[in-house]
A and B are shown apart, each in its own frame.
Chain A
Amino acid sequence: MASARVPLDEQHVTEPSGPMGRDRTLPALHPERMEDRCFVVYRPPPLESSAAQLEEFLEHAQFIADDLDWLLALPHDKFWCQVVFDESLQKCLDSYLRHAPRGLDPEALPASPAVADMQRRLHRSVFMTFLRMATHKESKENFITPAVFGEIIYNNFLFDIPKILDLCVLYGKGNSQLLHKMIENIFTQQPNYYGDLEEAVPTITQVLDTILEKCGLQLEGATASEPLKLEAHGRSTAMTMSQQDLVDLVLYLCDSCTTIYSLLDIFPAACHTFQSHGFLSRLASFYELAVPDFEKAIRKRNFDDKSLQEDMWRRISHSCRKMVEIAHLFVLHTCLQPILEGSENVQSCVEEFLQIMTAFLQEKRFLVDYDEQFSVVDDVSLLQQAFPHLDETRSSYLLQGVECAWESAGRKRLRPAPIAATQEVMERRGKE
């Protein structure tokens, strides 16, 4: 039996082996200590619920649920042997993250109560499995050396960036605190994940570019180095593409925005990595170009199914909201919060804030939608209080720009105009 108070990665176990039953000593983490359990992959609940399909789903799911119950009840050393060496377990977990219905999926809720119950049981078990895999110290006796833990989870792909994003979007709404601890621990023990995130951000940006391209739109700067393809002029747009393509693009956008938002909300440290790639300005430009086109197409196209048309509209509205909230998370975590917490780099944070906001001035529709949810004037007044040396010329320019954006959008604001509000703040400050 493994000895206590020694990390699992340094433990050895002696157990009988072979037909003669002779004892042998093995490292506690060894492939021969893994059990041949044969995990099956997850398949989502069937949309068309014939009895046979339901039965097949339930049988599959029952196998996984029973196997995960067994796994979670294993002692620490056996659990890690299984997790590290059982390829079928990793495929099973990965398949769940890929295919489990998200709350946002068009047909997320299984109709049958038996299927819904089974889905809930699986949902919890998969989360607990990932939680245990993200925990290097289970108790005083059961732990792994942090550096070795970092290597194990990274080298065996127990966690990777897509899996972390899937976990955020599947579980982040209701389990944000636990998930925050998990992801923070993963990144702390294995900083290579920051490098992977760094590598993943261009692909995420590419997703936005692909959506633009499919809509016959192109970002300046995104592909400026590439010559325009000859067939580019004949490309379809949101108005002319097939209805199915439009639906797919809207679903893709909706999922992408929610997924990015969930990661940044749960793990704000990722904001810096995204920002180092200029993600925010790309997002704002994307919004400016794509949103009006999508809105126009959904409003004007002739949908056979009006409920689908309404659903598409809500998804675009949801995506807009999430994009604005993503922008606010950046502003909050890279600028405002460090300033309020009295960071040493207040000046650079203030500069970052002004740069971000000044860049938004070009994207009028985005700026108005941002300001509607997160008042720029409130943030500026906050800065003025925290950093009295704030350049008034720049802040006034910024607030005038916000006002101009509202005017050019032809929309009525519900709050007082920024200039008036800023003057109020300034006057108050003068009195104080």
Chain B
Amino acid sequence: MAPPRLTGALRSFSNVSKQDYTEDIYDLKSKRLKRQELLSKEGLTWQKITQFFGQHLEKGEQRIATEELKKILQAARQIVGTDFGQETVESAAVFLFRTFYGTDQVGHEETRAIKHMFGPFPCSAADVSCAAVGRLVSPMDETQVEAFVKAETTPRVPDRASFGRNIAFSFDSYALDYLENLPWGDEDGHPGHGFSLDF
């Protein structure tokens, strides 16, 4: 439990701060999805992936590719749950594509990455999406897919000087500043009488 604080009393009993007791707006799961959504907006998007395969595959292969893309989307829906909209599902599908395009199995790293992004997820959905991504990229040259993903992935933090970058900051904090240690053996502030020389 948090230690009692003066500012806690001020927030509770005075009228000088915003009276708003609901703290959590977003939990970890919705934050993970939001991050994925932002990432996919910044660079690689589901639309770009579908366009890429539409442009680079033969007509006969395109029908199969469409099926595989659908499977990836379905797996993404299973992983994020039914409470989220198309945009979130597509961003999750982008994440699955990016996770699996260079591998042919759901290994430890891939499982950890998905869990970190979405929390607990059905393994079957990961297996299905991994296999679908594998079939999707198999007619293509590996380096071509690699180049496409890299080109579409932009840095997350804007390349701009951050405020405060050159401001000196100290991590010093207030520490206990006491004058004396506990006077063991004292009674009412007077010297202790643990022994006596008064024989």
Q: Which residues does A use to contact B, with CB under 8 Å?
A: 36-41, 44, 56, 59-60, 63, 66, 69-70, 72-75, 79, 87-88, 91, 95, 97-99, 102-106, 108, 120, 123-124, 127-128, 131-132, 138, 157, 160-163, 165-166, 169-175, 178, 196-197, 199-200, 203-204, 206-207, 210, 248, 251-252, 254-256, 258-260, 262, 295-296, 298-299, 309-310, 313-315, 317-318, 320-322
The answer to whether B178 and A314 have CB atoms under 8 Å apart is: yes
- Chain B residues, CB < 8 A from A131: 163-164, 167
Knowing A72-B163, A160-B18, the reply to whether A174 touches B172 (Cβ < 8 A) is: yes
Closest chain-A Cβ to B18's Cβ sits at a distance in Å of 4
Please pick, from A75, A160, A204, A314, the residue contacting B6 in the complex, using a CB distance under 8 A.
A204
A254 cross-chain contacts in B, Cβ below 8 A: 176
The contact size tier of chain B is: 35 or more
Nearest CB of A to B16, in Å: 4
Tell me, rounded to whole Å, the shortest Cβ–Cβ distance linking A180 to chain B. 14
Question: Would you call B38 an interface residue if the criterion is a C-beta within 8 Å of the partner chain's C-beta atoms?
Answer: yes
The 10 closest A-B pairs by CB, nearest first: A174-B170, A174-B172, A103-B173, A128-B164, A317-B178, A313-B182, A256-B6, A203-B14, A252-B4, A162-B7
A95 near B163: Cβ-Cβ < 8 Å: no
CB of B30 closer than 8 Å to a CB of A = yes
A60 touches B28 (CB 8 A): yes
**Residue contact A298 to B182, C-beta cutoff 8 Å:** yes
Tell whether A120 pairs with B167 under 8 Å between CB atoms, given A73-B162, A161-B16, A199-B16.
no
Residues of A near B175 (CB, < 8 A) are: 103-104
Known pairs A165-B7, A248-B4; A314 contacts B164 (CB<8 A): no
Task: Give the complex CA separation of A127 and B169 in angstroms.
Answer: 9
Question: 10 other contacts beyond A108-B173, A161-B17, A313-B181, with CB at 8 A cut-off?
Answer: A38-B26, A98-B2, A106-B3, A173-B172, A199-B14, A206-B9, A207-B9, A299-B183, A314-B181, A318-B178
B140 proximal to A (CB < 8 A): no
Is the Cβ of B8 less than 8 Å from the Cβ of A203?
no
Give the shortest distance, in Å, between A38 (CB) and chain B (any CB). Answer: 4
B83 at the A interface (CB under 8 A): no
* Interface status of B171 (Cβ within 8 A of chain A): yes
Residue B35 CB within 8 A of the other chain: yes
* A-B residue pairs in contact (CB < 8 Å), sample of 23: A40-B24, A40-B27, A59-B116, A63-B31, A72-B162, A75-B160, A95-B23, A102-B173, A120-B171, A157-B18, A161-B10, A161-B17, A173-B172, A173-B173, A199-B16, A203-B14, A206-B9, A210-B9, A251-B3, A252-B5, A314-B181, A321-B177, A321-B179
Closest to B178 in A: A317
Q: A73-B157, A157-B18 are in contact. Are A132 and B163 (CB under 8 A)?
A: yes
**Partner pick for A299 among B2, B157, B163, B186, CB 8 A cutoff:** B186
Are B170 and A175 touching (Cβ within 8 A)? yes
Do A174 and B171 touch across chains, with their CB atoms under 8 A apart?
Answer: yes
Instruction: Chain B residues near A197: list those with CB within 8 A.
Output: 16
Nearest chain B CB to A122 CB, angstrom units: 11
Q: Are A251 and B170 in contact (CB under 8 A)?
A: no
B180 CB to nearest A CB, Å: 6
A127 to B31, CA, bound (A): 23
A48–chain B nearest beta-carbon distance, Å: 13
Residues of B within 8 A of A258 (CB): 174
Interchain nearest-CB distance for B114 vs A (Å): 14
Contact between A44 and B26 (Cβ–Cβ < 8 Å)? Answer: no
CB distance from B189 to the nearest CB of A (A): 8
With the chains together, A225 CA to B101 CA distance in Å? 77
User: Is B199 positioned at the interface, with any CB of A under 8 Å from its CB?
Assistant: no
Q: Which residue of B lies closest to A210 (CB)?
A: B9
Check if B11 is an interface residue, CB within 8 A of chain A: yes
Nearest-Cβ distance from residue A218 to partner chain B, whole angstroms = 19
Q: Return the chain A residue nearest B188 by Cβ.
A: A296
Q: Does B156 count as interface, using CB distance less than 8 angstroms?
A: yes
Contact present for A91 and B6 (CB under 8 Å): no
Is B197's beta carbon under 8 Å from chain A?
Answer: no
Residue of chain A at shortest CB distance from B19:
A157
Closest to A202 in B: B14
* Chain B residues, Cβ within 8 Å of A41: 23-25
Q: Verify if B158 is at the interface (C-beta below 8 Å from A).
A: yes
Asked if B13 is an interface residue, CB under 8 A from chain A, the answer is yes
Most-contacted residue by chain B among A160, A162, A321 (CB, 10 A): A162
The CA of A197 and the CA of B9, in the complex, are separated in Å by 14
List residues of chain B with CB within 8 A of the CB of A295. Answer: 189
Confirm or deny: B161 has a beta carbon within 8 angstroms of a beta carbon on chain A.
Answer: yes
Tell me if B47 is interfacial: C-beta within 8 Å of chain A. no
Residue of B16, B18, B25 touching A88 (CB-CB under 8 A): B25
For residue B34, CB closer than 8 A to chain A, the reply is: yes
Q: Tell me the smallest distance from the CB of A338 to a CB of chain B, in Å.
A: 28
Give the contacting residue for B4; candidates A162, A170, A251, A262; CB below 8 A. A251
- State the Cβ distance, B107 to closest chain A Cβ, in Å: 20
Instruction: Return B26 CB to nearest CB of chain A, in Å.
Output: 5
